[in-house]
Structure 1
């Protein structure tokens, strides 16, 4: 009887498989072997795409005559630093006694690509190949993944999209970087007083640089506009007071007036003072009157679960760490079996997972290191709240592609004490968001009062949380609400006293710079920074890059000195070099800066993975786009933008 070969992405994962499957094997150089099974691993990527000079030695020299470079058949090679492990894997893949190969690399596009490159390089044939697709590293999930492993060929479309993504980055990176360096490199080098500058561009990287530069220029050109808001303090008797904000609603003397900055404020202080003067004159013989009272209740459910982008944004805000650090930590928690697969775009669970979710909750009842979390899990089970989410917004198979949201597995808690501080913080953040979805909605009591002085309206709004619900678990930061319950006793037509008028000076503020977290959210939403979390989920479409690559893009932009990150605030700003490169791209290949177009390329890859379009169709568009832009840049006059680059240089002086 033949042996089974299991190939994982990392040595540590292979060890987990050996332990969880209770295999008694011998540890050899690069693999572990028992009488029935063999376990080996890739150390990340073992194979990569070859540089142009491998195709033709002449291509080592950068010249316009050799562009665009678009090979008919792509070449690949083993990465020298991991040649030894590749040889181990190759020898195992070609052993005659191995009849079945279980592919256990990470369950995603990149994990698929890692194995497929090895398979192609070795030329594996005559063996059964099965794909293990799992959502966590727990014993139960690994055993399920092996038992339900599908033929590797079922994932051919995903593999095709992975190959295309690599070819896309390769073609655009090599052709555009070379042509732009040849045409503009010397100009940039002279401006920066460097001997040589290579202009690095990429489909996602250049777009993100453009987003950061555009935001910086918005801030730089912003002109603050002052405005003056009017409010009044009303009193009931000697003790009770409430404040109302004036708005020029229909019926007001100033309704749609050119004197207004907006309906709640004037452009000039003297106009606000004139209104106060008129109102005081009216109050000589009259009193303010309660014109309208509106009472209502509001239920607010817990936010959706974390996908990687939302978690990276949250950790950037709360812990001031960059997305790459967040990914590194949550990947480590995944490998410790504490959370599910992190590189996911979904923020919901599947119906199948929902049916078994009680296991995850029960696991957290043994979380002795955090009594609050332990008690919350026990409370959910006792009140059977987990049964109520089956038909909720948290369960939606249609919003899941490869993996569901990041949640705690309920296992691996024995590793908790050994975690570092930031690891504990991120784990707790994931756990609390998970437990919150089972808790009841938070309930608020809302009251709105419209107080009038003549034809002018002053609005008072008060919102108080009367039942915390899920807020007991999430505990959001923010100021406490002021409970003005006495407003409920007011009646329509009731006269009140004026205590004081107030003019509040304000001014318009520029847009905020991106942080390492907010740029990830903007990338997920094709360049739009949407603040409202629920709204983000409703309009989400194709993003820029993927959950697995966005952090790496920021890291690369910083490494090549196109952007800087403030480590204390995580605020992103461009460098002078970055802005000069931006000018070059804007002059030569402006479509690279367009988030919508960049997102459309990513959408195309998803369509290939979902068998909506074929590889040839995507490749034809990619090659045409590459050729058209290379030809245009090669014919351009690089010195047309010297003036604009000089302006950048002057700004950064």
Structure 2
């Protein structure tokens, strides 16, 4: 690696390709033959230069950086409304920013090669704006890091103005979320403090709506009133065999779900049925075909992995990102689409060949695929900025992958192979019967052809893992029925009367909560909002849902009870304080709709931001008035301080410390948040003072973030030793030898 000093004095014409991350830059540089690798960029020695960001290198100013008075959490200083939003360079990325800025100032043409979405556009454009670049701009729509996909993207370069409004939408989203987070987090926390609490109550546009979704679902469960209902199953014996049939009760004795609620009626019928005759009314048999499930988008992949292996949303996302960036074995993972462009269909056989070459054990399954058959998944009209997650043409050693990445890749590759297989075919028979003047139904299913299910070894758990085992087919559906005809007579040999209770909605799990976020319209009554949510595929995005869920746990709003996800008392308290609109999925969906209008040019950024400011100012004023009048409602009791005072003092200011549960375990936080707010690691229930960090901390070789000096645990016969660990842990686990 050469020095980061850039000599561009002789460069008169520069084509600069700006990527989102170093790994993308290296992959693109290989194709462009920019093989002269420098620190922070690569060049072909002539006109072509390739450089990269490290995600968002810039961030919005903190409140105190606009005005010193906003450093204090004081209700009199709300609302926080910067006259003009400003950006700053994240300290850990300063070196890379300097490289990018110098190249942008010399560039004559810029090719944006970041992710093809709102945030990807923002990552590039905000750097271009800060560097003062206003020259010719083009867009390179890279969807995958394999060589074939990169070459296709380079053959599909588009004018930069086509995607400029995506940047405007990203700015709108950033500013609106900043205003909501800064103002309502402070307002909610100050309201709780007025009630005697020391709790911090983070509030966010999508975060609060997700917490509310779980809390309201839990409330429906708590308030559910069960009632008894009764079923009767009979065994009918015929000359050609026996069957099990379920009673269909008359409407006059059923609830809205068609369940019998008249116990006396059911008991009388059960007595009459024993040894009664039973007659076949009609027999209906038909073949049903089931097409393979579409390829994955990120949410469906997270649901599959949660159900099959118990992975959290963030764990699946991280593994998929590794498969995309490090191994280049799958296409862009943060996709919200399950369809593929027609132009990619010619690559099918190459992908299948690469899969088999990387894992010979897959040959039998790949042989089931007919690569000449174009499945319904290939439909350009249904593809947006990203397409479905599928394997690439890259050959990779499947056995060498870490376990999590291996499982996620296996899910993606088998789902892809299934697209090119025949439909799964079953023969379904329904027999309507009559006994003691009542209707009964017997159902049975016989497999005809496994079709695509053979790719999964006909294992239902692998084909479609269920989070809820109660949803599986009943025994009576799986039975093999005798060959009966209308008019056949038999005898009831057994009538089983059962008393059951209606069940409350099941608690959310990782999978069902992701599904609820994706299909949140079913929790909304307003027709217009339901329509918006259906069009937007729920709240949050495929790229952000995992992180938002992690924050909800880290802030103490949600907790896991084995596989179940439930809301905490802190969540209920926060939801009683914030304006109801912030807890509504419809509100955040409405905002996304407005952002889409900015992206399409139907709405200006200025109009959108003014609407947000006006709306927010009114709500903040109402909240301030409640605090001034001591009108705290239930917050007065919900946030009465319950934690015991700590005997530990802050190492910085001597204020009390409080032990707080966090995303990666407990930590200690200074309770004088206005003047200090320092945090410290937890060491067996006690706060630990942080070691002073050296001034020469290197950058992480994998993600570019700053490394931190860390101390290893004592080994056998060894004392503790120091090493460099990435500050992005646990997302990045890179380490380096410490040479003190």
TM-score, normalising length: structure 1 = 0.87
Residue by residue over 1:439-469, the C-alpha shift from the partner in whole angstroms, topping out at 9 and shown as x without a partner, is 1111111111112113201110112221111
Contact in 2 for aligned 1:211/1:527 (Cα 8 Å): no
Q: Which stretch shifts more, 203-212 or 216-225?
A: 216-225
Q: Distance in 2 between matches of 1:18 and 1:64?
A: 52
Q: 1:388 to 1:55 in 2, by over 3 A?
A: closer
Counterpart of 1:572 in structure 2 is: 565
Contact in 2 for aligned 1:47/1:76 (Cα 8 Å): yes
Deviation, structure 1 residue 594: 1.1
Q: Distance in 1 between matches of 2:611 and 2:489?
A: 71
Deviation, structure 1 residue 380: 2.4
Q: 1:516 to 1:266 in 2, by over 3 A?
A: same
Deviation, structure 1 residue 483: 6.3
Q: Distance in 2 between matches of 1:648 and 1:53?
A: 27
Counterpart of 1:516 in structure 2 is: 510
**1:97-116 alignment to 2 at 5 Å?**
98-116=107-125
RMSD (Å) for aligned C-alpha atoms: 2.8
Residue 370 in structure 1 maps to residue 361 in structure 2? yes
Contact in 2 for aligned 1:334/1:342 (Cα 8 Å): yes
Residue 172 in structure 1 maps to residue 180 in structure 2? yes
Residue by residue over 1:200-258, the C-alpha shift from the partner in whole angstroms, topping out at 9 and shown as x without a partner, is 11110000010111122222222332322111111124x83211111124xxxxx4126
Counterpart of 1:35 in structure 2 is: 45
Contact in 2 for aligned 1:181/1:198 (Cα 8 Å): yes
Q: Distance in 2 between matches of 1:529 and 1:434?
A: 32
1:612 to 592, 597, 602: 602
Contact in 2 for aligned 1:580/1:645 (Cα 8 Å): no
Q: Distance in 2 between matches of 1:415 and 1:31?
A: 29
Residue 438 in structure 1 maps to residue 420 in structure 2? yes
Q: Distance in 1 between matches of 2:479 and 2:91?
A: 70
Residue 405 in structure 1 maps to residue 388 in structure 2? yes
Paired residues, what number? 610
Residue 558 in structure 1 maps to residue 553 in structure 2? yes
Counterpart of 2:440 in structure 1 is: 458
Q: Distance in 1 between matches of 2:636 and 2:77?
A: 28
Deviation, structure 1 residue 479: 7.1
**1:156-555 alignment to 2 at 5 Å?**
156-187=164-195, 189=197, 196-237=198-239, 240-249=241-250, 255-257=251-253, 263-268=258-263, 270-280=264-274, 287-335=277-325, 336-371=327-362, 374-381=363-370, 384=371, 386-389=372-375, 392=376, 394-411=377-394, 413-474=395-456, 475-477=459-461, 484-487=479-482, 489-526=483-520, 528=522, 541-555=536-550
Contact in 1 for aligned 2:229/2:261 (Cα 8 Å): yes
Gaps of 5+ in 2: 1-11, 462-471, 525-530, 644-740
Gaps of 5+ in 1: 190-195, 250-254, 531-535
Q: Distance in 2 between matches of 1:645 and 1:326?
A: 41
Q: Distance in 2 between matches of 1:227 and 1:641?
A: 44
Which protein has the bigger helix share? 1
Residue 10 in structure 1 maps to residue 21 in structure 2? yes
Q: Which stretch shifts more, 362-371 or 168-177?
A: 362-371
Deviation, structure 1 residue 50: 0.7
Counterpart of 1:83 in structure 2 is: 94
Q: Which stretch shifts more, 413-422 or 47-56?
A: 413-422
Structure 1 runs of 4+ with >6 Å offset: 478-483, 647-652
Q: Distance in 1 between matches of 2:534 and 2:202?
A: 32
- Tell me the SS of whatever aligns to 2:369: helix
- Tell me the SS of whatever aligns to 2:552: helix
Deviation, structure 1 residue 123: 1.3
Residue by residue over 1:87-137, the C-alpha shift from the partner in whole angstroms, topping out at 9 and shown as x without a partner, is 121122123xx4222222222221211112211222123x43222211110
Residue by residue over 1:298-330, the C-alpha shift from the partner in whole angstroms, topping out at 9 and shown as x without a partner, is 111111221111111111111111111111111
Q: Distance in 2 between matches of 1:64 and 1:650?
A: 20
Deviation, structure 1 residue 149: 2.1
Contact in 1 for aligned 2:444/2:481 (Cα 8 Å): no
Contact in 2 for aligned 1:307/1:342 (Cα 8 Å): yes
Residue by residue over 1:355-384, the C-alpha shift from the partner in whole angstroms, topping out at 9 and shown as x without a partner, is 54343334334243433xx33333424xx5
Q: 1:648 to 1:233 in 2, by over 3 A?
A: farther
